[in-house]
Structure 1
Amino acid sequence: MKTKSILAAAASLAVLTWGVLQAAPAQAQAMQHSTEPPFSHEIFTGAVLFEKLEYGWGLDGPNIGRWDGQAWYGGDVNRVWLKTEGETSRNGIVEGAEVQLLYSRLLSYYWDFQAGVRYDIRPRPDRFYGVIGLQGLAPGMFEVDVQGFVSEKGDLSARAEVSYDAYITQRLVLQPNVEVNLALQKVPELGVGSGFNDIEAGLRLRYEVTREVSPYIGVSYERKLGDTARYARNEGEDVGGWAFLTGIRLFF
C-alpha cells in the first residue's frame, strides 16, 4: 500500500509539474509583447538571503537558536533555489534541520512555481520529500510561500508562511510573519500528528545598516497543536510559548 501511495503521489506531482511548465511559456511569451521589459535574453544572476539568524530566550520554554535562508541563481524566468532552515536547543544540539533543492519557473511578474526535493537531516529518522509550491507577492505586498510535500513513505503535508515589511523609516522595518504546518497523516516516529501541527507568529523590528546587513530584535509565539502537542508532552517536551528574539538578516 505504501508503494502504491508513493507512486500515486509521484504521478500527481509529475502531472502538475508538466501542466505548469506547458502553461508557463505562453505566459512568458505574452509578457514579452507587453510594455514590461522582455525576458527573451535572460541575464543570469544569483543572491543569498538569510532572513533569520537568531537566538530566542524562552519565557516559558527553552532557549532556541534558529536559521532560515535561501539562495537562488538564474534569470527572470528560470531559477534554481537552495533553501534551508532549522533550529538548535540551548546546548547547541540541532533539533531540526532541512535542505531543499528546487527548480523555479516564472508564472507571472509576482509568482514562481517551484518543484524539487527536500531532505530532513533532523529529527531522526531522516526523510526525503518531493516538493511543489508557489512563492511570490500577494496583493498588498504580502510575501507568501506555500509548499506541499510527499515523503518517501507516502505521507502528505504542507506549509504556508506569510510576512510583510512595513517601512517605518527608510532604514527601520517592522516585519510580522505567520507560519503554519499541517499533515494529512500521523507520523508518530517524527512526533507529527494529523491536521494542524503547529503555528509560529513573530514580530521583528530590524534596522538596515546597509541593504546587506540588518540586525533586529523581536518577539515570537510558537505552539504545537493536536496530536503533535500530545507527542511532545509524552516526550517531556514543551509545546510552545513566548520568546524574545535577537538576530541579524543578511543579503548578498
Structure 2
Amino acid sequence: MAVSGVNGGDGKKPAGSRQAAAVSHVSGKVARHPAPERGVPVSRSRPVSYIGGIQPVMDHMLYAHAILDEFEARYNGRGGAFRYDGQGWYGTDYDKLWIKSEGTVGRNGRFGDGDHEILYDRAVSRYFDVQTGVRLDIDNGPVRPWGAVGIQGLALYFFDLEATAYFSDRGAAGRLQGSYDILLTNRLILQPQAELNFYSGADRARGVGRGFSEFDTGLRLRYEWFRKLAPYIGITYSGQAGQAADIARRQNSVVRDVVVTFGLRAWF
C-alpha cells in the first residue's frame, strides 16, 4: 500500500554555526538541509534553484503515486472470479488527494463489492496520515454514499494499517485493513493480509448484516522480478459472518470461500 509521512530530521540543529539549519526566505520555515560550508561550492548539477544561496524547503513539491495491490484471478472447484484493489495519490508530503477503489467480478459475471473513495489526506506524524472524504458503493447493487474519516500508515514493526469509519443516513460502518511484508529474500516476499468490515445496521439489498459482517484474508507470495511489477500466487479465505451469513444462505449464495489466487502487483 503507498504510505506517506513527514520527511526530514528531528528538528535539532547540527553543531557549529556554519552547520546551523538555514531558514528559507520563501516559506519562513526551517529548511531540511543545512547551509553549505564556507568555501565548499554548491553543485551546479542540482535541479533546484537557490534564493540568496539558501536551498528552499522541498516538502511542498508535488508528487504522484499509484499502487495496484491486488489484480488477481481467484479459483476453486466451484469456478473462478476476478478481484482488484488499488489506490493512488497526488500532492505534497503533507497534503494529498487520495483515491481508492476495489471490486470483484463474481462467478456469475456480475460486478460486486464495489467500493470507491475520494479522500483528502493530511500527514499528522512521521508514520500516519488522517484521511477524510466520501465513499461510494457502486456495483450491480444499489448505490450507497458514505462520509469517511480514518487513518492510514505504518504501525509498530512496519505493519501497513488502515482504519476507517463511515457514516450515512443508514447508520455507521467501519473497516480495518492490515498487511505485512515478510522478506524471504530481497525479491521473494510473503504477505499476509486481512480486511474486516462492520456495520451498525443491516442492508439486505447489498447483503450486509449488522455487526461483524464481512472478511477477506489472504497469504500471497510474490516475486519482485522488477520492483514495480511483481507476479504472485496465494490462497485467500473470505466470506460473510453473523447476520450477513444468514442473508447469504437465504439467497443461496456462498457464505465462505477458500480459493487459490494468482495475479500481479504493480506500482508507479
Scaled by the length of structure 2, the TM-score of the pair is 0.78
1:58–1:64 contact (8 Å) kept in structure 2: no
CA displacement at 1:93 relative to structure 2: 2.0
Structure 1: stretches of 5+ with no match in the other structure: 1-27
Aligned counterpart for 2:75 among listed residues 43, 53, 57: 57
- More helix by proportion, 1 or 2? 1
Query: Separation in 2 of the partners of 1:149 and 1:229?
Result: 22
CA displacement at 1:62 relative to structure 2: 4.6
CA displacement at 1:123 relative to structure 2: 4.4
1:172-213 residue CA offsets vs partner (Å, 9 max, x unmatched): 110001111011112222221111002221000001011110
Q: 1:159 maps to what in 2?
A: 175
1:133–1:145 contact (8 Å) kept in structure 2: yes
CA displacement at 1:154 relative to structure 2: 3.5
Query: Separation in 1 of the partners of 2:117 and 2:265?
Result: 20
Pairing 1:1-252 to 2, within 5 Å after superposition:
33-34=11-12, 37=32, 41-59=59-77, 61-151=78-168, 153-252=169-268
Query: Separation in 1 of the partners of 2:193 and 2:166?
Result: 21
CA displacement at 1:77 relative to structure 2: 0.6
1:109-156 residue CA offsets vs partner (Å, 9 max, x unmatched): 1000000001111242101110001000011100001111112x2320
SS of residue paired to 1:105: strand
1:215-242 residue CA offsets vs partner (Å, 9 max, x unmatched): 0000011131111001111111000121
What amino acid is aligned across from residue 74 of structure 2 in structure 1?
G
What amino acid is aligned across from residue 11 of structure 2 in structure 1?
H
- Structure 1 residues 34, 149: CA separation in 2 closer, same or farther (over 3 Å shift)? farther
1:159–1:182 contact (8 Å) kept in structure 2: yes
Higher Cα radius of gyration: 2
Query: Separation in 2 of the partners of 1:89 and 1:245?
Result: 14
Query: Separation in 1 of the partners of 2:12 and 2:147?
Result: 35
SS of residue paired to 1:67: strand
2:97–2:121 contact (8 Å) kept in structure 1: yes
Of residues 126-135 and 32-41 in structure 1, the stretch that sits farther from structure 2 once superposed is: 32-41
1:123–1:190 contact (8 Å) kept in structure 2: no
2:110–2:140 contact (8 Å) kept in structure 1: no
Query: Separation in 2 of the partners of 1:56 and 1:91?
Result: 13
CA displacement at 1:63 relative to structure 2: 2.1
Query: Separation in 2 of the partners of 1:144 and 1:74?
Result: 21
Query: Separation in 1 of the partners of 2:59 and 2:73?
Result: 43
Aligned residues: 222
SS of residue paired to 1:122: coil
Percent of residue pairs bearing the same amino acid type: 34
Query: Separation in 1 of the partners of 2:160 and 2:167?
Result: 24
Query: Separation in 2 of the partners of 1:169 and 1:137?
Result: 21
CA displacement at 1:78 relative to structure 2: 0.6
Scaled by the length of structure 1, the TM-score of the pair is 0.83
CA displacement at 1:164 relative to structure 2: 0.1
